[in-house]
Structure 1
Amino acid sequence: MRTLSEEEIAELRSRILSMARKAETGKDPLGWFEDLYESSNGNESMIPWSSGEAHQFLIEW
């Protein structure tokens, strides 16, 4: 997984906050999660909480 630059992190943070604010005013306050995953186009570095691997508990389950 590629490491984002400080500028890319700031841009991503701004985009996520914008998505969250927009979703908050609508009827789907968690809808921004779907928007974020869709807009990442499979690029895991665009999902801040992704480690690029399945969580060990999920694997064991």
Structure 2
Amino acid sequence: MKWITLLDHELMNIRLDQDDKSLLIEVNDGGISTEYVTVRLGIDDVKLLEEVLKEYKKRISE
């Protein structure tokens, strides 16, 4: 499994898994005893997420 880090941020890391071409999104809660949630998305899920994020940006900018 070979991962390429696309984003390394304080509360979120996003990596590309080159083997299966999926996107791994890891989010932590920022607490003292950090807990993580990792989501693996395929290309169709990434497209759906893009649409939702565009809608989010549209709604908050109104």
TM-score over 0.5 (shorter chain) = no
TM-score under structure 2 normalisation?
Answer: 0.28
